[in-house]
Amino acid sequence: MGIAFSHDILAKGVNKGYPVVMTFPKEGTGYEIGGLSLIKGGPEPELGKKFIDWCYTVRAQNLFQKYNRLPVNPKATVGKGSLTLDQVKLIDYNHIWAGTNKKKFIKAWRDRIGK
């Protein structure tokens, strides 16, 4: 048993031929959201804005298939084997609370599962 992001299970396991199966808890699972931002006061802000705009194009979002990442542009293609968020039961959790209690969770994990 292992716990990992689904895109890593596909890219580093399934797609390389390892005998792994991607499953999600029936109770639901959490998720993470990657970010893209422009640094205030950074050099060449107009080029930065153009890059961000390009990142949301279908062409750019379709590159995510190679890495089993989910696109945010609804016109982009989801990669083979990837599940969209509407195909997985998600839990409603408080990100701030989880971050504040991270050390407790890690300790509980290590106490129960090992290091």
Residue 14 lies in a domain: yes
pLDDT band of 40, cuts 50, 70, 90: very high
Residue 1 lies in a domain: no
Residue 105 lies in a domain: no
Residue 19, both tokens: 């005998």
Q: Work out how many domains the chain is built from and give that number.
A: 1
Q: Is the pLDDT of residue 50 over 90?
A: yes
Domain span at residue 89? 6-96
Predicted model pTM? 0.70
Residue 112 lies in a domain: no
Residue 111 lies in a domain: no
The beta-carbon contacts of 80-83 under 8 Å, at least 24 apart in sequence, are 81/10, 81/14, 81/15, 81/22, 82/6, 82/7, 82/10, 83/6, 83/22
Residue 32, both tokens: 């993470």
pLDDT in tens, 81-101: 888 888 999 999 898 999 999
Classify the C-alpha dihedral 2-26-79-14 as positive or negative.
positive
Residue 33 lies in a domain: yes
Residue 73 lies in a domain: yes
Residue 113 lies in a domain: no
